[in-house]
Amino acid sequence: MASIVLENITKKFGKVTALDGVNLQIDDGEFIVLLGPSGSGKTTLMYLIAGIYRPTSGRILFDGRDVTNLPPKERNVGLVFQNWALYPHMKVFDNIAFPLTLKKADKNTIQQRVHEVANMLRIEALLDRYPWQLSGGQQQRVAIARALVKQPQILLFDEPLSNLDALLRIGVRTELKRLQKDLKITSVYVTHDQAEALAIADRIAVINNGKLIQVGTPNEIYYNPRHTFVAGFVGNPPANLLNAEFDGTRLTIETKTFQAPAELLQRISGRRRIVLGFRPEKGSLLDHITENAVGIEVQVYEVESMGREQIVTVSIEQTMVKVLRPSEEKFQVGQRLFLCVDIKDLMLFDFDTNEALDVR
Ligand SMILES: Nc1ncnc2c1ncn2[C@@H]1O[C@H](COP(=O)(O)OP(=O)(O)OP(=O)(O)O)[C@@H](O)[C@H]1O
Ligand SMILES: [Mg+2]
């Protein structure tokens, strides 16, 4: 176990800035998920923690000790990466034992540790098989066992489940979270899957274009996004973000105008444009405007069933908005309704900086 501090980390590859002034503190035993789109710098950050890359500037500390210039083998970090190829000519036992064989550990230690981790990951019965005789989920567990056998103080996972089908992912991620909590090994887990991030993280660090945008618990990230990028990336579907003009009393979206609620006036005063956001499950579609809500006339554009719920896409002229409603409610394409959102459920962002207007 170890705490990790990333201090003002910048990593450049020639003209490409992969990471730009990243500051992050990870506590002992914490499970941090790095969430961001393709090319945002996630793998680069993992390689820096592992010691495979050196930062262009900035420092990395493990338990307060500067490790910035330590090579990988002196960092005691376990890796489970995107392409977690096992050695095809080696049996599962030897695959798991490999890091210890490299270190020239004695036979008894190897026997004991391999059985220990295999038992933990419930693959003891598979030790005598070759990788091609395993299912994807089993292979994945072997890869995790191989990372654990060194007893690392830090575990790094880079999209470890991306080769598994959707159902298996959900199963393995639960086991992974459980295992991490039992072993209390500080872990950094990379994904671009926001649902996976919400499900397993102690805290999520959202990254875009090499910059950390927000770090917070899944609840904070979901309910209190500090930036439109976070609101528009997290959630299925993600939050709706609407550009609105403000004339001092009224808000206008496209050509639809409504009175700005008194509660909002103070927060948006002095601005001519803002971004209004809300989660799809916070919108209702009614034939009237409810109390303590803002309401705007919309037309139903498309309805998609998701089983228990349905995604109703409605249009405010050219602007499309997604609302999540229980399947019992019936909607027809072309139907005109009022989209209502409780004032307390509105998120407000600065039009120019895209940052949230205030802490709620
Ligand atoms: N060795 C390298 N040389 C040059 N550019 C690189 C190198 N490695 C990464 N980059 C660039 O740095 C940026 C971040 O890459 P990185 O691999 O960290 O992204 P990522 O978030 O892991 O993306 P993905 O989700 O696709 O794996 C990208 O623009 C990438 O093209
Ligand atoms: Mg990557």
Q: For residue 149, which amino acid is it? A: V
In this prediction, residue 360 carries a pLDDT of 46
Atom number, ligand 1, closest to the C-alpha of residue 13? 4
Give yes or no for residue 104 having a pLDDT over 60.
Answer: yes
Domain extent for 56: 4-233
- Specify the CATH number for the domain of residue 266: 2.40.50.140
Q: What is the mean pLDDT of residues 143-169?
A: 86
Are 259 and 174 part of one and the same domain?
Answer: no
The DSSP bridge partners found for residue 78 are 155
The residue from 206, 233, 260 where one domain ends is 233
Q: Which tops the pLDDT comparison, 98 or 160?
A: 98
Instruction: Select the highest-mean-pLDDT range: 121-135, 161-175, 274-288.
Output: 274-288
Residue 355 falls inside a structural domain: no
Give yes or no for residue 183 having a pLDDT over 90.
Answer: no
Question: Considering the entire predicted model, what is its pTM?
Answer: 0.91
Distance 39 CA to ligand 1 centre (A): 5
In this prediction, residue 82 carries a pLDDT of 67
The residue from 213, 233, 253 where one domain ends is 233
Are 114 and 198 part of one and the same domain?
Answer: yes
Helix (H, G, I), strand (E, B) or coil at 11: strand
Are 179 and 261 part of one and the same domain?
Answer: no
**Does residue 13 have its Cβ closer than 6 Å to ligand 1?**
yes
Q: What is the mean pLDDT of residues 279-303?
A: 95
In this prediction, residue 141 carries a pLDDT of 87
**Does residue 39 have its Cβ closer than 6 Å to ligand 1?**
yes
Residue 360 falls inside a structural domain: no
Helix (H, G, I), strand (E, B) or coil at 43: helix
Are 201 and 331 part of one and the same domain?
Answer: no
Residue 29 falls inside a structural domain: yes
Spatial CA neighbour of 96 closest among 75, 81, 76, 111: 111
Residue 357 falls inside a structural domain: no
Residue 358 falls inside a structural domain: no
**Does residue 18 have its Cβ closer than 6 Å to ligand 1?**
yes
Residue 356 falls inside a structural domain: no
Q: What is the mean pLDDT of residues 67-88?
A: 87
**Does residue 208 have its Cβ closer than 6 Å to ligand 1?**
no
Distance 159 CA to ligand 1 centre (A): 14
Residue 103 falls inside a structural domain: yes
Q: What is the mean pLDDT of residues 326-338?
A: 96
Are 227 and 279 part of one and the same domain?
Answer: no
In this prediction, residue 121 carries a pLDDT of 84
Are 191 and 312 part of one and the same domain?
Answer: no
Q: Which residues of 321-356 are buried (b: 16+ CB within 10 A; e: fewer)?
A: bbbbbeeeeebeeebebbbbbbeebbbbbbeeebeb
* Structure confidence by residue, pLDDT tens digits, 123-150: 999 999 999 999 888 888 899 899 889 8
Atom number, ligand 1, closest to the C-alpha of residue 11? 12
Question: Which ligand number lies closest to the CA of residue 38?
Answer: 1
The answer to whether residues 241 and 209 touch, using CB atoms and an 8 Å cutoff, is: no
Q: Which tops the pLDDT comparison, 241 or 262?
A: 241
The residue from 233, 264, 292 where one domain ends is 233
Helix (H, G, I), strand (E, B) or coil at 263: helix
Q: Which of 16, 34, 52, 81 to mutate to test the pocket of ligand 1 (most atoms within 8 A of CB)?
A: 16
Q: Please give the structure tokens belonging to residue 7.
A: 């201090």
Give yes or no for residue 84 having a pLDDT over 90.
Answer: no
The answer to whether residues 216 and 279 touch, using CB atoms and an 8 Å cutoff, is: no
- Residues in the chain, overall count: 360
Are 24 and 52 part of one and the same domain?
Answer: yes
Q: Which tops the pLDDT comparison, 210 or 119?
A: 210
Give yes or no for residue 212 having a pLDDT over 70.
Answer: yes
Are 203 and 159 part of one and the same domain?
Answer: yes
What's the number of domains the chain is made of?
Answer: 2
